[in-house]
Amino acid sequence: MKSTTGNFFEDFHLGRVIHHATPRTITSGDAALYMALYGSRFAPQSSSVLARNFGYREAPIDDLLVFHMVFGKSVPDISLNAVANLGYAECRFLAPVFPGDTLSARSEVIGLRETSSGEAGIVWVRTTGANQRGETVVEYVRWVMVRKRDRSSPAPAPVVPVLAERVAPESLGQAVPPLPPGAWDKTAAGSPWTFADYTPGERIDHIDGMTIEEAEHQLATRLYQNTARVHFDAHSEANSRLGRRLVYGGVVMSVARALSFNGMGSAFHVAAINGGRHMAPCTAGDTIYAATEILECAAIAGRDDLAAIRTRLTATAQRSGNAEASILLELDMWLALPRL
Amino acid sequence: MKSTTGNFFEDFHLGRVIHHATPRTITSGDAALYMALYGSRFAPQSSSVLARNFGYREAPIDDLLVFHMVFGKSVPDISLNAVANLGYAECRFLAPVFPGDTLSARSEVIGLRETSSGEAGIVWVRTTGANQRGETVVEYVRWVMVRKRDRSSPAPAPVVPVLAERVAPESLGQAVPPLPPGAWDKTAAGSPWTFADYTPGERIDHIDGMTIEEAEHQLATRLYQNTARVHFDAHSEANSRLGRRLVYGGVVMSVARALSFNGMGSAFHVAAINGGRHMAPCTAGDTIYAATEILECAAIAGRDDLAAIRTRLTATAQRSGNAEASILLELDMWLALPRL
Amino acid sequence: MKSTTGNFFEDFHLGRVIHHATPRTITSGDAALYMALYGSRFAPQSSSVLARNFGYREAPIDDLLVFHMVFGKSVPDISLNAVANLGYAECRFLAPVFPGDTLSARSEVIGLRETSSGEAGIVWVRTTGANQRGETVVEYVRWVMVRKRDRSSPAPAPVVPVLAERVAPESLGQAVPPLPPGAWDKTAAGSPWTFADYTPGERIDHIDGMTIEEAEHQLATRLYQNTARVHFDAHSEANSRLGRRLVYGGVVMSVARALSFNGMGSAFHVAAINGGRHMAPCTAGDTIYAATEILECAAIAGRDDLAAIRTRLTATAQRSGNAEASILLELDMWLALPRL
């Protein structure tokens, strides 16, 4: 067989490093598609003029687009045989990405544990995305339940990595250049609220909803070169548990992040993802709503231009014929805001 | 509340100027998406080589894409609580826009009138889109019926602006560089017809039809960062008068304009929109057809390379199960053509 | 009538040369859309870094995107009145295309034969796509059955061109720069297999499936400025033989080619299309699968860096409610691979 069905649980060994194919040059075309797919409006990603005012070379690529591109590269090696994407942690954005940059991805296996059923196992990987100069632009840990090729394969010694509950706020903001004093323009950026306005415990309903179409999530997921067949193959998925194609969880992340502009418009940068869980599957036709809870407000060491807010972004879905909304996603993030 | 539900009729005051967020850098990625969404084929927008032959620096951004981008910026401030988009007038395209340009938008309230029911009011705004050098690239008046926050709020003194029935043809063509003699290539441009071939009263059926999908109008409308929830939220729109998502009227404009290439291929530039009315709502599944009526043929002062034709572009929709077509849109425009 | 319904069989004469409108500048935006539409992952098209390592100036435009763009230009002149697209032959890719290049297309009528029914005729054209320097980037023969305007028109003398069964392998590879020794990186390129690993007679199942949505094929086909109404007009197609919109055959080609990465990842370049036949119509909702049969392995004269494999790529469709898959497409191609 020259074609591959991907790695099974037995193929992962602690410490194994996988260099993922294919590197990907990100262009302004990708940024335009990201805008069309989600309608994001954060200031520096939307306007090169504002980006330059804020100290960037030009409009940076949206953080989550970078995340999805790196994640997508890892799919053919890590999660073609995934039963479930269980979580993310310790995700940090470490350098800005601009149109023309080329991203490569590699993953290291940092944990393994067979499930009690003996039919699958949980694999923890730390995935790193680097640009063409070898600088890490994003890194994160994810864990995923992967089918075994053969039920009778022996279980590896279980190793469960200890993961930080949250990224230390002192280390945030490396992907953001120094913001010149007075450069932040509230009106242009579309939000009257600044760091000082947010308080732990506060909840923000982002009001708007967005309904996801099959064509949209497929376009998005292919743009990321994510090859997981569950997102694309209606014929084989007709026999799956859901009975239909599953929307890539990253689409839900991006929709919720874009909706969060209404109330969090000055939080222009995702500095870190402390944790993320997909609580329920999303399928086309779902209308996604988003809400934010402010968890923590923190200074960033050495930065008087920037501060961080830790939020829990929750995405819920309304389905036709269902009275109640389902929670799809909880994303615990550090967002960076200008300190005015 | 940190998130906003937008301005209500009471929030508009005569002379109020609103600077809209967020400026937007337009790229070749946006132009590619516009092509994919509508299939436009006008010569200078399609080919940088032809564009340079015609005196442009490179392929300019389609006029209606510029219009939609500027319009989209105004939506969060002007029309989140719109009951209906009533009309456009005095729209002029004043400078070409190229990939890399950054557009900002502002609107001034120029008219107000409460409706007789006392539940809403009509707001007239003059919206201006400018590039990063502060040059106006497009300006237009639109009026929209906006809900009142509180039925009992007092009505403002009614002010209804006097709007030109049509833009004066002498002032057209500012967005078009001088066309070098002999530069226009009929074969390459895809139309044998020139200015002299069109006669007032003539009607052109553009023949082709285009069916609109939910994913398509959503992609388009997000690309413009237009946030009106009626276009995106199938769940809440299930309870609306239409019972489903409404297609942004600008999508209908662009589909009809693209279809008009067949018969009006040399009319490469929308120089002005004298008036526009959305006569009926468009929803996904509608198949749009277009027809043009030639209203007026005019010289442009100081331009022997360029002339203008005033047309009424009508878009109609066929719906499954409906024998008769509905008129969706009438757009009274000045189009610029080469004077050969 | 200023709008056109296209040429009928009577309008084609042997030796007639048609210069197609409108030239089209291809940008990185088009490349991003192509990625989003098909999820292609071949190395040099995905990464400018790898492309430069392989000797390209930057990431080249996907060969099939070039083909579709040139084909699209020819549609308004050649196939608006097509009953069926019958085949392709002698298609060669002769120069790489990069973002910023502008493609023009022309066709010469090289064969004509009225059908026995007297209601249509087969037209053979050789279509050539050239860049802004006049260099041919692709050329191919296609034949198409075109309706007659008038049943009673006299039949032309039948001329059926003699077409090569396959492009001579010695002439391949002109669109690929010399590959520096050691430059090919199997890991980055995503395939462990090289030229030497493939054997005539071998069959490769590419495993994955992709379901096509109406919005997706419409976006693709408009991106190519292909104006054949059968792809866009659900209203008029409701009365057609299929009862619905037909997916442009080039979409099937691109989906199958993208799926073939899994097993043929090192075959980064379509050097020639020896023949292609659309065996059955594709409509939205079809899930497409692909398989490759290796037909021939060949050296390329004067190239010790590159070799060619002749393959038959077969696309099949699964439809809901249909137990059996239908064959949609057979594409006989020469693919170029690095000779390691």
Asked if pLDDT for residue A320 goes beyond 90, the answer is no
Residue B285 φ/ψ region, left for φ over 0, alpha for ψ in the -120 to 50 degree band, beta for the rest: left
Whether residue B205 and residue C3 make contact (CB cut-off 8 A), yes or no, is yes
Digitized pLDDT (tens) for each residue of chain B, 340 residues in all: 899 999 999 999 999 999 999 999 999 999 999 999 999 999 999 999 999 999 999 999 999 999 999 999 999 999 999 998 999 999 999 999 999 999 999 999 999 999 999 999 999 999 999 999 999 999 999 999 999 999 999 999 999 999 999 999 988 999 999 999 999 999 999 999 999 999 999 999 999 999 999 999 999 999 999 999 999 999 999 999 999 999 999 999 999 999 999 999 999 999 999 999 999 999 999 999 999 999 999 999 999 999 999 999 999 999 977 778 999 999 999 999 999 8
Domain locations in chain B as residue ranges: 9-338
Length of chain C: 340
Whether residue C219 and residue B214 make contact (CB cut-off 8 A), yes or no, is no
Helix (H) or strand (E) holding B275, with range, is: strand B269-278
> Out of C5, C102, C245, whose CB is closest to B48?
C102
pLDDT for B323 equals 77
Chains with 3 or more CB pairs under 8 A to chain C: A, B
pLDDT for A170 equals 87
pLDDT for B213 equals 98
- With contacts defined as CB-CB under 8 Å, which chain C residues touch A19? 187-188
Whether residue A220 and residue C264 make contact (CB cut-off 8 A), yes or no, is no
Distance in Å, alpha carbon of C51 to nearest chain B alpha carbon: 21
Helix (H) or strand (E) holding A112, with range, is: strand A102-114
Fold of C9-152+166-178+189-338: Thiol Ester Dehydrase; Chain A (3.10.129)
> Out of B21, B216, B234, whose CB is closest to A190?
B21
Whether residue C220 and residue B36 make contact (CB cut-off 8 A), yes or no, is yes
Other C-beta atoms closer than 10 Å to the C-beta of C295 total: 18
- With contacts defined as CB-CB under 8 Å, which chain B residues touch C213? 213, 215
Cis? peptide before A22, omega within 30° of 0: yes
- Please name the residue that has the structure tokens 């209908």: B252
ipTM: 0.97
pLDDT for C170 equals 87
How is residue A159 annotated by DSSP?
B
- With contacts defined as CB-CB under 8 Å, which chain B residues touch C99? 28
> Out of A27, A104, A233, whose CB is closest to C211?
A233
* Beta-bridge mates of residue C147: C120
Inter-chain CB pairs, B–C, below 8 Å: 143
Structure tokens at A238: 């007709």
Nearest chain A residue to B217, by CA: A36
CATH code for the structural domain at B9-338? 3.10.129.10
Query: Helix, strand or coil for residue C46?
Result: helix
The alpha carbon of C45 is separated from its chain's Cα centroid by a whole number of angstroms, namely 16
A206-246 per-position pLDDT tens digit? 999 999 999 999 999 999 999 999 999 999 999 999 999 99
pLDDT for A294 equals 98
- With contacts defined as CB-CB under 8 Å, which chain B residues touch C225? 35, 39, 41, 46
C-beta separation of C337 from C197 below 8 A: no
A105-164 per-position pLDDT tens digit? 999 999 999 999 999 999 999 999 999 999 999 999 999 999 999 999 999 999 999 999
- Closest among B38, B27, B29, B41 to B98, alpha carbons compared: B27
Query: What is the rounded CA–CA span in Å between residue B148 and residue B130?
Result: 30
Structure tokens at A166: 């949250």
Query: What is the rounded CA–CA span in Å between residue A298 and residue A169?
Result: 7
pLDDT for A321 equals 72
Length of chain A: 340
- With contacts defined as CB-CB under 8 Å, which chain C residues touch A219? 36-37, 216, 219
Query: What is the rounded CA–CA span in Å between residue B9 and residue B117?
Result: 13
Q: For chain C, which ranges sit under pLDDT 70?
A: none
> Out of C1, C215, C225, whose CB is closest to B39?
C225
* Beta-bridge mates of residue A298: A308
Nearest chain C residue to A100, by CA: C48
A16-46 per-position pLDDT tens digit? 999 999 999 999 999 999 999 999 999 999 9
Whether residue B46 and residue C28 make contact (CB cut-off 8 A), yes or no, is no
How is residue C181 annotated by DSSP?
T
> Out of B33, B236, B245, whose CB is closest to A32?
B33
pLDDT for B322 equals 75
pTM over 0.90: yes
* Beta-bridge mates of residue B108: B17, B126
Band (A322; pLDDT cuts 50, 70, 90): confident
C-beta separation of C25 from B47 below 8 A: yes
Distance in Å, alpha carbon of A293 to nearest chain C alpha carbon: 33
C-beta separation of A336 from A269 below 8 A: yes
Query: What is the rounded CA–CA span in Å between residue C98 and residue B117?
Result: 60
Look over chain A and give the mean of its residue pLDDT values, rounded to a whole number.
97
Look over chain C and give the mean of its residue pLDDT values, rounded to a whole number.
97
Instruction: Report the CATH architecture of A9-179+191-338.
Output: Roll (3.10)
Query: What is the rounded CA–CA span in Å between residue C309 and residue A183?
Result: 58
pLDDT for A340 equals 80
State the best of B26, B41, B53, B194 to mutate against chain C, taking most chain C CBs within 10 Å.
B41
Distance in Å, alpha carbon of A102 to nearest chain B alpha carbon: 17
